[in-house]
Structures are given as C-alpha cells and as structure tokens.
Amino acid sequence: MLFGLTKTVPSPILPVSLDLAKSHLRCRNSRDDALILQYLAACVTQIEREARTPMGRATWVYAIDRFPTLVSWEASSYTSVRDRHEVYEGNPRLTMFIPIQPIVAVSSITYKDLGGNTVTLDPSKYSVGYSTGRIFPYPSWPPTWPITDVGVPENVKVTFTAGPENPKDVPADLIQAVLLQLADMYENRGEEAHVDLQRSINPAAARICRGYETGNVY
C-alpha cells in the first residue's frame, strides 16, 4: 500500500552540531554556516527515512488512502488462540506499519467516514507496537478497522512522535551516515549533480542505514 510520511514538527535540536559538521567538511570560516545548517537538516531527514530510524524527538504524520482490510470470511476461519495470533502477527491486510521506529507515542488516528466527516479513532480501539511500528485493531474479533470514505487520497492519518530527546542517544554510526551525506551535498553544491544528491544517498551511508532495516513489509 502506498503511503506518505511527513515530519510536521522537527526536533529543535539537530543530532550533529555545526562544529562537528564543519570539522568533517574541513571548513574553517563562518561564511557558509547558514548553508551548512540547511544541508545538515536535509541530510538528517534523508538518513532518518533511509534507516527508518528517528534521530531526534519530532512529530510525524503517516498517511494512507484507507485502513487495511481483512475480509470477514477469512477472519471467521481462525478459531483457536494460536490461529488468532497468526492473524495479528504482521498480516499486511490487517496491520498498519509505521515506517519510522521506534515510536514514542501515537497522538491520534483520524479518517473521513462515508459521510465525509473527519473522525478521530478512539485509542481503545487499536493497539500499538512501539518498537516495531505496528498498529492493529483491538480488542474486537473479527478484527476490523472503520469503513472510510471512498476515493479520498490520504484519508487515514496517523500522527505520532518518535525519536530520542537527547542527541547523545543517537547511534554513532547514524551520525557518521549524516556526515557522509553532508560531505557529498556540500562538496557538490552548485553543480547539476546536486539535484540528484538531494534525492540519493551516499553509498557508504546507505550501507549503514541498511543495518537498521526492521524486516517489516510495506
């Protein structure tokens, strides 16, 4: 299922200081400080998305067109407790997967119903796997999500917070990935390749990020 992921309230503190960034870039003047900070913020977001790991306490919105659907006849065939565990454990037709983990808190899940009204889902109606990014309907059986309006893009929105409050809690290898990405962007500024660099990841940084893959299916 296609999804959108937007950081709506960024962390007020970057995990990489300006001094560390300038040292990595071997930049000894202050002329480019504002530019380096701008690139640094962009690189942090790129590495967060690539590693699916937040690097600072921020608010995100995950958006999909509709809730996952598990048809009733499928659910009715699961009768034992073990069978029901199989339904919940990673079923892509039932579970929402938030592609940034770990989650600190889910603020709200909203959707538009068949009448076009925006509804906030009662938190008692779903359960959150904070370390895995899984959200599934709970505790009803068969497990079902609400029916949403038809033909409305990004109908379902999950607002959540994720990431450490203290930059010292960010893994050292992710800091290194940011610095590698920053060097590529800074050293190639002003060139045509710069546009592609804003959309791609430094190969060494990408290898670091792959170590953070959770194995979730999106």
Using a 10 angstrom Cβ sphere, with 0-12 exposed, 13-18 middle and 19 or more buried, the burial of residue 200 is middle
Identify the residue whose tokens are 């701008």: 38
Same domain, yes or no, for 48 and 83?
A: no
Is the pLDDT assigned to residue 27 strictly greater than 90? yes
Please check whether residue 135 lies inside any domain of the structure: yes
Q: Whole-prediction pTM value?
A: 0.78
Average pLDDT, the chain: 85
Q: Is 41 in the same domain as 93?
A: no
Q: Please indicate, yes or no, whether residues 91 and 127 belong to a single structural domain of this protein.
A: yes
**Which helix (DSSP H) or strand (DSSP E) does residue 200 occupy?**
none
Helix, strand, coil percentages in the chain from 3-state DSSP, rounded to 5 = 35, 20, 45
Contact 62, 99 (CB under 8 A): yes
Note whether residue 217 is domain-resident. no
Residue 7: its H or E element = strand 4-9
Does 31 have pLDDT greater than 80? yes
Residue 184: what pLDDT? 93
Task: Encode pLDDT of 73-126 as tens digits.
Answer: 455 555 555 555 555 555 556 788 898 888 999 999 999 999 999 999 999 999
pLDDT, one tens digit per residue, over 40-52 is: 999 998 999 899 8
Question: What confidence score (pLDDT) does residue 217 get?
Answer: 35
Residue-number span of the structural domain to which 94 is assigned: 65-102+110-156
Q: Indicate if 72 and 150 belong to the same structural domain.
A: yes
Confidence of residue 150 (pLDDT cuts 50, 70, 90): confident
Residue 218 lies in a domain: no
H helix and E strand count, the chain:
7, 8
116/146 same-domain check: yes
pLDDT at 215: 47
